[in-house]
Amino acid sequence: MKLLEKKTALISGGSRGIGKAIVEAFAREGAQIVFSFLKSKEKARNLEKNLKKITKIKAFETDLRRPQSAKILVKKAIDEFGKIDILVNNAGIIRDSLFIRMRKEDWNEVIQTNLSSIFYLTQEVVKKMIKKGSIINISSLFGVLGNKGQVNYSTSKSGIIGFSKSVSKELGAKNIRCNVVAPGFINTEMIASLDEEMLKEWRNNIPLKRFGYPKEIAQACIFLASDMSSYISGEVLNVNGGMSLI
């Protein structure tokens, strides 16, 4: 039996990067999937088409910065599959700038997309989880350590950790678990666009001497979504190649 067979997963930001890897990995493990996307329409439709060969899957274009959009997405998921067993909050953006120069618009957009959207979507999903559920929120190494030039991003990702720990305490009695995966440096489109000298410096600071792959984050999510982690809640799983968090 596959690890997520007979489970339905709702995954936000599932069209590319880490989100796409999670969608693909969950499909291989037998989950039925609803995933959201905002701008990558072609990529989302191609992913949906390819994975329909192995599982039931549906993609919806959704702006989760709006509470009503989260409500509509959850309704569509329930209409499509009848239940939601797993929620993965992955949608996120960056708008980097030094703190003193950061535009208020960039602060607000990152907080709304990375943090408020999790509140909106999680609140709607838990109303539909019956007796059991797993919520996985994607944070970041910089949500733990902070990072210059990323006050908005680091704040949003740190907020995810506090949110998740609090939610785990409130929902534990309903057998709904809530955990965090905090990736380190992962080979995504964002990494590929950066200066090679900067990448070399970062790589040298990682004990495993390499960047991670999206599939390695997806594997951590499979563990937390499956019954293998049935007694784990309120935890942060750091997937960062051994980087020190002190």
Q: Which residues are the active-site residues?
A: 153
CA atoms of 160 and 166, how far apart (whole Å): 10
Maximal CA-CA distance, the chain? 53
Per the CB < 8 A criterion, the answer to whether 59 and 35 are in contact is yes
What token pair was written down for 31? 């989950």
Helix axes 17-28, 41-51, angle to 10 degrees: 10
What token pair was written down for 235? 């935890």
Q: How far apart are the first and last CA of the chain?
A: 40
**Helix, strand, coil in percent for the chain, rounding step 5:** 50, 15, 35
Per the CB < 8 A criterion, the answer to whether 129 and 85 are in contact is yes
What token pair was written down for 57? 């899957």
